[in-house]
Structures are given as structure tokens and as C-alpha cells.
């Protein structure tokens, strides 16, 4: 006899349907923005579609909960197929959406490449936008590699540092090995995420209590004075933001979250990081390696960056 559980096919698509009271216009706009950020495809017949993955289910379920809390209605359905759209057609529509995103990026990258004085902050913003698009490029648009190549070309041609930071300093901290203490916690994993995404895209990370054993590495969140660490009332994440003039709005929000979780002084009244901190502590107690702790922690911060407004 065939085992039914073994032959069950997981639905390929998620369908999100919602309705909000007319007086909730701002909530409706916010919902549309979040659906756009998730990469959801709007159907002309109503509803929004995403490929059926755990991350996408979580996005829809969380958004549905927020809508219901605002007095609206929302449903998340797992769908095998649509009678008016084949799987191939839906996939093509997703690719068309991402192609438009990539084409906009290509135009902006080429505009930057024609600028005589290229700012590192401009390139960082473009790379961040590229990462946001690739996160929702569910079917691997052929334009993705073209954007990556154009970004690399602009980087190779050189950029100038943002205001308040010399171009010499920008170059000094590229393609470096960065060192921090073993068993990284919330401040160190978030700082590593910040370094990799906004300071040194090719950064490599190592762990040691004594940076003197690695004289060419850049220390961060070490007890020694050299390198980047706590300064005054700032945690390491905040110090890096100030030293490298990082003014990204969502990074500023994360800085407040990391500060409160790391220093536990309730300076900003942000509690979002406490759960992340406890999760990292739990993984460390379970014997997760330093490298894996850093990898998982950076993924948590990446998710936090996508979620904060």
C-alpha cells in the first residue's frame, strides 16, 4: 500500500488576502509597502502571491496578525495551482517584477559610474538595494549577474569616502581580516554584520582573546584599546557607525536596539534585541562554534534590518 504521507505534494504557492476598514488608510499603505518589500505578486483578481517557503509563510502570517490587530481581516492560503495562471506564468511574472527592479538599479549604477567623485556611501546604498532585490529574486533573474558585475566594476574604479571620513581610511579598511573575542554575542555579531555590509564587503573574521597574535587583523569589541570598541556610552556597533559615518536610517534603529540589549541601560527603550541576545547565549551554551554563532547571528541581524522601519 502506498504511504499517503510520502506522496503528499507540498503546495507551491501562498495566497494572501486581506481587507481593512476604510478609515485605516495609513495601515493599508503600510501593508502594501510591506508586501512590496516581501516581493509579493499582486493578482488582478485580488490577493498577493509568494512562493511557499517557511520565510514567506512567516512574512504573511505576521502581516496577517498585524492587520487583524488593526480591526481588519486577513487569510493565508497554501495553493497548489491557480486556474487563470499556470506555474510557468506566475514564475514569469515574478521574473518581470525583479527585472524592473534590476533595470532601475542598473540605471542608477551607470549614473554613479559617470560621476567623477564617487562616494562610498552612494555605492553602499546601491549594494544594499541590490541585496534587498536578490532576497526576493525567487527565480534567479538573468539580470542579477549583470548588476553584480556593474557593482564590482564601480568598486574597482574606486570611490571617495563619505563626508567626515578620508578616502585613505576607507581604503585602509577594505579586504581586511577582522578579529574579535570568542563566543560572539549581540554587539559583536551585529558589528560583524555592519562591517560586512557597510564597511568591508570582503571582510574575514577570526576569533582570539589576544589581538597581538594577529598584528595585521583589525580588532573590534576587544578589551584592548586598539581597534574599534566601546567608546564613552556607545557600544561597538555605535562606535563603528560614527567612525565610518554610516547614516542609513534602519542602521540607526538597529544601533538603538543593540545598545539597549548589550548595555542593558534602557537608554532608547528598545527591547527587540533582548530575544536575539538570549538566542545567541543559548546557542553558545549548546556548544555552537564561534564561526557558526557569527553566521547565525549575522542572519538574525539581516532579518532585523529587513523588519525595522
Cell matching residue 129: 538595494
Looking at residue 10, its pLDDT comes to: 85
Q: What is the mean pLDDT of residues 30-45?
A: 93
d(CA 48, CA 62): 15
Q: Which one is predicted more confidently, 152 or 183? A: 183
Name the band, by pLDDT with cuts 50, 70 and 90, for residue 207: very high
Percent of the chain with pLDDT over 90: 52
Q: What is the mean pLDDT of residues 4-20?
A: 81
d(CA 81, CA 9): 12
Looking at residue 192, its pLDDT comes to: 97
CA 215 to chain centroid: 31
**In this predicted structure, which of 165-169, 202-206, 219-223, 272-276 has the lowest mean pLDDT?**
165-169
Looking at residue 122, its pLDDT comes to: 79
d(CA 151, CA 173): 19
Looking at residue 290, its pLDDT comes to: 94
Name the band, by pLDDT with cuts 50, 70 and 90, for residue 203: very high
Residue 170 has pLDDT above 70, yes or no: no
DSSP for the chain reads ---HHHHPPPPSEEEEEEE--TT-HHHHHHHHHHHHHHTPEEPTTS-EEEE--HHHHHHHHHHHHHHHHTT-EEEEEEES-BTTB-HHHHHHHHHHHHHHHHHHHHHHHHHHHT-SS-BHHHHHHHHHHHHHHHHT-TT--THHHHHHHHHHHHHHH--BPPTTS-HHHHHHTSS-EEEE-SS--HHHHHHHHHIIIII-TT-EEEE-S-GGG-TTSEEBS-SSSSSB--BTTB-HHHHHHHHTT---HHHHHHHHHHHHHHH-S-SS---HHHHHHHHHHHHHHTT--HHHHHHHHHHHHHHHHHH--
Name the band, by pLDDT with cuts 50, 70 and 90, for residue 247: confident
Name the band, by pLDDT with cuts 50, 70 and 90, for residue 1: very low
For residues 189 and 297, is the Cβ–Cβ distance under 8 A?
Answer: yes
Q: What does the mean pLDDT of the chain come to?
A: 87
d(CA 256, CA 273): 9
Most confident of 13-27, 120-134, 186-200: 186-200
Looking at residue 164, its pLDDT comes to: 40
Tell whether domain 4-79 is in CATH 3.30.70.240.
Answer: yes
Residue 167 has pLDDT above 50, yes or no: no
Taking only the tens place, the pLDDT of each residue in 131-158 is 889 889 999 898 988 888 888 777 666 5
Q: What is the mean pLDDT of residues 228-243?
A: 91
In the three-class reduction of DSSP (H, G, I as helix; E, B as strand; rest coil), residue 231 is classed as strand
What pTM was estimated for this model as a whole? 0.54
Q: What is the mean pLDDT of residues 261-267?
A: 87
Name the band, by pLDDT with cuts 50, 70 and 90, for residue 128: confident
Strand-pair partners of 16: 48, 76
**In this predicted structure, which of 9-13, 120-124, 297-301 has the lowest mean pLDDT?**
120-124
Strand-pair partners of 73: 19
Domain boundary assignment for the chain: 4-79, 95-157, 167-307
Amino acid at each position: 500500500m502506498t504511504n499517503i504521507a510520502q506522496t503528499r505534494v507540498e503546495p507551491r504557492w501562498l495566497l494572501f488576502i486581506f481587507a481593512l476598514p476604510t478609515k485605516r488608510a495609513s495601515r493599508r499603505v503600510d501593508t502594501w509597502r510591506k508586501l512590496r518589500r516581501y516581493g509579493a505578486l499582486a493578482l488582478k483578481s485580488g490577493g498577493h502571491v509568494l512562493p511557499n517557503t517557511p520565510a514567506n509563510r512567516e512574512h504573511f502570517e505576521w502581516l496577517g496578525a498585524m492587520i487583524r490587530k488593526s480591526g481588519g481581516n486577513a487569510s493565508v492560503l497554501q495553493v497548489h495551482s491557480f486556474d487563470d495562471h499556470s506555474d510557468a506564468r506566475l514564475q514569469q511574472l515574478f521574473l518581470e517584477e525583479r527585472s524592473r527592479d534590476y533595470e532601475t538599479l542598473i540605471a542608477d549604477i551607470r549614473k554613479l559610474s559617470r560621476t567623477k567623485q564617487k562616494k562610498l556611501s552612494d555605492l553602499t546604498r546601491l549594494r544594499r538595494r541590490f541585496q534587498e532585490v536578490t532576497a526576493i529574486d525567487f527565480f534567479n533573474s538573468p539580470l542579477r549577474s549583470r548588476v553584480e558585475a556593474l557593482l564590482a566594476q564601480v568598486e574597482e574604479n574606486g570611490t571617495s569616502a563619505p563626508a567626515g571620513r578620508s578616502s585613505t581610511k576607507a581604503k585602509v579598511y577594505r579586504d581586511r581580516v577582522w578579529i574579535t573575542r570568542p563566543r560572539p554575542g549581540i554587539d559583536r555579531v551585529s558589528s560583524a554584520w555592519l562591517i560586512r555590509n557597510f564597511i568591508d564587503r570582503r571582510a574575514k573574521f577570526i576569533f582570539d582573546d589576544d589581538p597581538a597574535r594577529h598584528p595585521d587583523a583589525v580588532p573590534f569589541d576587544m578589551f584592548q584599546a586598539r581597534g574599534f570598541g566601546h567608546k564613552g556610552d556607545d557600544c561597538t556597533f555605535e562606535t563603528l557607525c560614527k567612525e565610518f559615518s554610516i547614516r542609513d536610517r534602519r542602521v540607526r534603529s538597529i544601533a538603538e536596539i543593540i545598545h539597549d540589549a548589550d548595555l542593558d541601560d534602557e537608554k532608547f527603550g528598545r527591547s527587540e534585541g533582548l530575544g536575539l541576545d538570549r538566542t545567541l547565549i543559548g546557542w553558545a551554551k549548546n556548544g555552537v562554534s564561534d564561526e557558526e554563532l557569527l553566521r547565525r547571528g549575522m542572519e538574525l541581524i539581516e532579518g532585523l534590518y529587513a523588519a525595522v522601519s
